[in-house]
Chains A and B, each alone.
Chain A
């Protein structure tokens, strides 16, 4: 297969499918999903432990070859996101950080303003910053200027499986951003991921649709195939749409038809 690597920060990825560790019914499914999907980067979250229940360590379920992308979920301000990012790095999770600042619990919309502030701080501290945002071109330009390593616009609300509802706005980011555009959140089907890649997205991040499928490993594989197909189609340059038909076979007649008898 033709090599088509994606570089984010200083790291190069062969797979353009990033995945998440949330919502798996059994943690042991994660390693098999990673193997079948070929995903090379996966998100994790940081939480206060339940003093009664003891500790859970999701990192035990992730092969060492896979890059960790800790998120700052739970943060409601830039300062909280910065604090979580620093903890994650000190705890040995590497330099990558997905900034997720959410103040709206109904739609889980990211707070673009706080996210920008956190990006400015963390990029200066040598993090590889991947901000999760509403697709907004002027904001994306500010994120680039602040040192973001990628921008991660949402396709639809987190966990909604509704696909590319923000398609037109994401297209503006793809056309204008210098850093990679990773479509994150809301992609519910492999066809949604393929559509994002056909548009020219550099990668997608999928968690819910894979983790909550009846067979997460098979669904991970299906998403991987869709991402590859979409990417290949983008690079092959899609043919244009047309409002009317354009014949793909010659229409000139070459057989004489016998005169039709009128029905009795």
Chain B
């Protein structure tokens, strides 16, 4: 299925946000996930099933003034 991740179209095999994070080897600590403009708390990642055309933003807090 194809989803948009951080503005780029990507083909993914993962069925849930939890699987996607694991497959991409992302450190869940400090990762903020927005799914179709809604924040998904980490404990819900395994429950959210991804669908073709979904928009994901994977964000983290960084240094800034």
Q: With A59-B30, A87-B32 known to touch, is A47 a contact of B62 (CB < 8 Å)?
A: yes
What's the A-B contact tally at a CB cutoff of 8 Å? 97
| Complex Cα spacing A55 to B21, Å | 11
Residues in B whose Cβ lies below 8 Å from that of A55: 26-27, 29-31, 60
Centre residue among A43, A55, A70 by max chain B CB count within 10 A: A55
Chain B 35-62 per-residue mask, 1 if CB under 8 angstroms from chain A, else 0: 0010101000000000000000111111
Which residue in chain B gives the minimum CB-CB distance to A90? B39
User: B5 to chain A: closest CB distance in Å?
Assistant: 7
> In the bound complex, do residue A58 and residue B63 qualify as a contact, i.e. CB atoms below 8 Å apart?
yes
Q: With A55-B30, A90-B39 known to touch, is A49 a contact of B61 (CB < 8 Å)?
A: no
Determine the main DSSP class of A at the interface with B: mixed
Q: With A56-B30, A59-B30, A91-B39 known to touch, is A51 a contact of B63 (CB < 8 Å)?
A: no
Interface size, chain A (Cβ < 8 Å): 37
Residues in A whose Cβ lies below 8 Å from that of B29: 55, 57, 60
Residues in B whose Cβ lies below 8 Å from that of A44: 61-64
Query: Does B19 interact with chain A (Cβ within 8 Å)?
Result: no
| Complex Cα spacing A43 to B62, Å | 10
Which residue in chain A gives the minimum CB-CB distance to B39? A90
Residues in A whose Cβ lies below 8 Å from that of B31: 49, 55
> In the bound complex, do residue A48 and residue B26 qualify as a contact, i.e. CB atoms below 8 Å apart?
no
User: B38 to chain A: closest CB distance in Å?
Assistant: 9
Which residue in chain A gives the minimum CB-CB distance to B6? A48
Chain B 3-39 per-residue mask, 1 if CB under 8 angstroms from chain A, else 0: 0011100000000000000001111011110100101
Which residue in chain A gives the minimum CB-CB distance to B30? A57
Which residue in chain B gives the minimum CB-CB distance to A210? B65
> In the bound complex, do residue B65 and residue A47 qualify as a contact, i.e. CB atoms below 8 Å apart?
no
> In the bound complex, do residue B60 and residue A56 qualify as a contact, i.e. CB atoms below 8 Å apart?
yes
| Complex Cα spacing A261 to B6, Å | 89
| Complex Cα spacing A58 to B65, Å | 12
